[in-house]
Structures are given as structure tokens and as C-alpha cells.
Homo-oligomer: A and B are copies of this chain.
Amino acid sequence: MFAVIMAGGRGTRFWPRSRKRRPKQLLAILGEKTILEQTVERSLPLCGWDRMLLVTEGEQAPLIRDLFPQLPSDQLLVEPLGRNTAPCIGLAALFVAERDPEETMVILPADHHIADIEDFRDTLNAAVQAAQEGEVLITLGIPPTFPETGYGYIEQGDPVKSGCARGVWGVKAFHEKPDRKKAEAMLAAGRFFWNSGMFIWTAAAIMKQFARWTPALYRELLGLKNQSGRPGWEKALREAYERMEDISIDYAVMEKADNVRMIEGRFGWNDVGSWEAVYQLSEKDGRGNYFQGPVIDLDSRGCLVYSPQKTVALLGVQDLVVVDTPEALLICPRERSQEVKKIVERLTAEGREDLL
């Protein structure tokens, strides 16, 4: 099996700690290693370096090369521009298919947190076996623990026979990010799972679905076949990407294909989507504060402070996120930390390259 780690995101919700050249997956936002390193180390026992594939964007490539000197240089695929997950997965599938179309790909976002790594690996091994039993697209569904409105949901279908070590299910439908009421109903119903964005399938299986549902993308991929590393590759890749649609794998394939299967992921998953998620995953003090850096606190509760250098004095504040960097300072309530991306949108609109 090939591990395909999608490491092209920006993570704008972690601004100002995340920046264009220092995106979320390259930050040691949980623990001492970067999230990308944690993701790679988690998968390495499954595939080894010779079957590890990283996909990233141009600006991040040098940093990633430095981080993983053991990674064969052709196994870092560099997208010339961000085009969402369908082209990213297409490019990886092309690479794997050129080696062996029947090879299984385990597609993993670079920036998630997994609590039980053993169970995570066992689940992936089972999913790989299921993917090899027949031409199916396997997605991992996470049992929801609260009515999250920030994720898409997978509606579980009927059980499907499989020789693998985990239960395999059909998928009745994909549901987009719900409102609060609908999220509560789905949580209560019990047969809805969070869409984790982790997929398992053979290169041949996904290529066939690209051909069926996104023929334009498929044609671009075919046009790139067997050109990687040859003269003109970068130009050809850029031109192909410029023609490709910006589209997620969910919209492009998963919501349409009729051979989708789901395996439950019960290994403690978190997409580390915001400072609130970091807060939830961190060890708090007796008043529910999580401080990284020198903080003087008088009577504050429920705060997350990231300020590795400057002393921060908090006096009587509650449930705030405070992120201080040499270039900018962010202050917002924890419950609105999803909206930090709006600040990045504003800075982008104002052309503030110095702060992006």
C-alpha cells in the first residue's frame, strides 16, 4: 500500500501562527513535532519510505524536503497551484498507477490528530484488505460525539460482506455541513458519521471513477501520464492544473459513485480545525487555561494563550484565544475561533502580503 499524505493546505484558521509559508501542518501546534511529521510517523510502519507519497504546493515544498530527508525525491509531488482534493488525489493516483494500478492508496490529510495510533493502523490495514477484495471506494466515518456543524456527514447504509477485520458498510448518502438542528438530529439518529476525508482504494478503482464522473480531470491526468521527471514536466503540469476545476473529491466522485463503502474510525479523531480544537486536545490547568509561553494570570478561566516570547498578563478574562507572534496579535473568544479565517480573507482582500 501507498500512503498518500495531502499536505497542501493553508490552515488560515490558525493565523497569525500559520502563515502562507508556515501553514498549519508545518507547525508544532500539538506536541513538539509538526503535525505533518506526526502524520508521516503514524503511517510509516504501514508503508515504509518507499511507499510514502506526499503532495504539497510549491511554496511549502522546500520546507517539507528539509523535514523528510529520507523521502525519495520523486515521492514529493508538488502541485503548481491549489486545486482542492480531486486534482491532488488524481495526481497521486496517476503516480501510483504508473507503478502498479492494483496498488492500494491510503489517502490521509496531513493535519489531523489521532489519539489511538495502534487502532488507527489496524483500521487502515482492514480497509486496505477490503479495498483489495473488490473495486470499491472506502471512506472512514467517525462516530460523532457532539452535534458538530463544521463537518460533512456520511449516512451509513447496510452492512457489506468482507473478509477484513472490521465491519464494512454501504453508504446511503453524503450530507453537507448541517445547521445545528440537523446536526443534533443526526447525532441522535446514530447512523450518521463524520466525513473524515480519509480514503482507501486502488489506483485503478479511483481512476475509473474519475473517468466516469469528471472526464475533464481524467483527460488532464491521462495527458500527464509517464511524463513526470521528463523535460517540460513542470510546464505541462502547470498548464494542466490551470485548466483543472477546483473541486473536492467528495463533490467530484464520492457523492456520485455507487461503489462507496464506509469503515468506522473509532481511534479518536480530530481535524484540529481551529484553536478551539487545540484547546480541547490540550491539558488545561485547574481553571481550564492552556498557556504556551510566559503568562501572568490573575483570575482568568478557559483561555488558550500562545505567546512563546512575550509575557502576557491576563486579568479576569474568560474563554479567550490569544495568539501573539512578532508580526501580529489575535484575540477572539474561543467559540468564534472558526472565524479567524475571515481575518485572513480581509488581509487578502487588502493585499496585506506582510501579514499573510
Contact = CB atoms under 8 A, between A and B. Distances in A.
Contact of A331 (B16, B312, B328, B340): B312
Interface string A318-356: 001010101111111100100110110011000000010
B296 A343 contact: yes
B328 A315 contact: no
A160 interface: no
B332 A329 contact: no
Nearest to A350: B296
Given A298-B339, A342-B298, A343-B296, A331 B317 contact: yes
A331 B320 contact: yes
Complex copy number for this chain: 2
Contacts of A320: 317, 331
A18 interface: no
Interface string A6-27: 0000000001100000000000
Contact of A313 (B312, B315, B343): B343
A310 interface: yes
A307 interface: yes
A16 B310 CA distance: 12
Given A298-B342, A347-B296, A311 B328 contact: yes
B333 A316 contact: yes
Contacts of A330: 312-313, 315
Nearest to A318: B333
A314 interface: yes
A343 B331 contact: no
B313 A16 contact: yes
Contact of A328 (B312, B317, B327, B339): B312
Interface in A279-317: 296, 298, 307, 310-317
A106 B328 CA distance: 46
A315 B331 contact: yes
A208 B257 CA distance: 99
A311 B355 CA distance: 9
A328 B333 CA distance: 21
Contacts of A332: 313-317
A315 B339 contact: yes
A329 B317 CA distance: 14
Contacts of A343: 296, 298, 313, 315
Nearest to A335: B316
A90 to B, nearest CB: 36
Contacts of A347: 296
A294 to B, nearest CB: 9
Q: Which of A298, A313, A324, A326 lies at the interface centre, i.e. has the most chain B CB atoms within 10 A of its CB?
A: A313
A307 B327 CA distance: 12
8 contacts: A296-B347, A312-B329, A313-B331, A313-B343, A314-B331, A317-B332, A322-B331, A329-B329
Given A310-B329, A311-B329, A313-B331, 14 more contacts: A296-B346, A296-B347, A298-B346, A310-B326, A310-B327, A311-B355, A312-B330, A315-B332, A315-B339, A315-B343, A316-B336, A317-B333, A322-B331, A331-B331
